[in-house]
Amino acid sequence: MNNFTPGGKLAEDREFKPVNIALLTVSDTRGRSEDTSGDLLEKRILEAGHKLADRQIVKDDRECISDMIKNWIEDDNINAIISTGGTGLTGRDITPEAVKPLFEKEIDGFSTVWHMVSFQSVGLSTLQSRACAGLANGTFIFCLPGSNGACKDGWDKIIKWQLDSRYGPCNMVELMPRLREV
């Protein structure tokens, strides 16, 4: 099951353009010292050559989640947001309910690809995830589950490639200058 390829390739002759990424952990139980999924994503973001614009932890509270995302999408220096946690099926899992109303456009393909990738790792348990992505005020928003494995799959097999300006045949970075067109 470790034979994943992203389906495209890196064009080494293209310029790498760092992306400013904000990272949000949604959890009632984790503080900074227990936030292993946030640590994992931060490390991968920086290793990929991107910039960590901000990192926060908020409780599983719709208003807290929504307010943090709103602040970041209003910040012209943030190009992408990745959240981890709160995408499951329990009563406290409310990240999609807090974030989706902010989307101007939902990136439906993200959820589809997420489940294809996740199925390779966890089989039918992927049904318990409501990972999603969208676009708001020219900012990409990716909502991942809170487990380390889910964050590895989400970053390593999807987000990393789409936020790399060298990835082809196309990537999300090349869209950024045109996201706020009217």
Q: Where are the domains of the chain?
A: 19-177
CATH topology (fold) of 19-177: Molybdenum Cofactor Biosythetic Enzyme; Chain A (3.40.980)
pTM metric for this prediction:
0.95
Contact 100, 132 (CB under 8 A): yes
Instruction: Give the C-alpha separation, 126 to 101, whole Å.
Output: 23
DSSP for 96-158? HHHHGGG-SEE-HHHHHHHHHHHHHHHGGGGGG---EEEEETTEEEEEE-SSHHHHHHHIIII
pLDDT in tens, the chain (182 residues): 445 567 888 888 999 999 999 999 999 888 888 999 999 999 999 999 999 999 999 999 999 999 999 999 999 999 999 999 999 999 999 999 999 999 999 999 999 999 999 999 999 999 999 999 999 999 999 999 999 999 999 999 999 999 999 999 999 999 999 998 88
